[in-house]
Amino acid sequence: MGLYDRYLAVRTRWSDQARPENVAVVLTERDLLEQGAYDTMGAFLRWTFECGADRVMVYVSVLDEEAAPTLRRELESVDAPRAVAVRGPNDNRRADAPIQISIGLGGKHEFATAVQRVTEEVEDGDLVPEDIGEEDIEERLVFPTDPDLVIKTGAERLSDFMIWQSVYSELYFTDVNWQNFRKRDYLRAIRDYQDRQRRFGE
Cα separation, 8 vs 144, in Å, equals 31
- Predicted confidence at residue 159, as pLDDT, reads 75
> Is domain 20-105+146-194 annotated with CATH 3.40.1180.10?
yes
- Predicted confidence at residue 18, as pLDDT, reads 85
- Predicted confidence at residue 109, as pLDDT, reads 87
- Predicted confidence at residue 102, as pLDDT, reads 92
pTM given for the model: 0.88
- Predicted confidence at residue 187, as pLDDT, reads 93
Buried b (16+ CB within 10 A) or exposed e, 101-120: bbbbbbbebbbeebeebbee
- Predicted confidence at residue 201, as pLDDT, reads 52
Domain boundaries, the chain: 20-105+146-194
- Predicted confidence at residue 105, as pLDDT, reads 86
Ranges under pLDDT 50 in the chain: none
pLDDT one-digit tens code per residue, 76-86? 999 999 999 99
Residues in CB range of 119: below 8 A, 6 or more apart = none
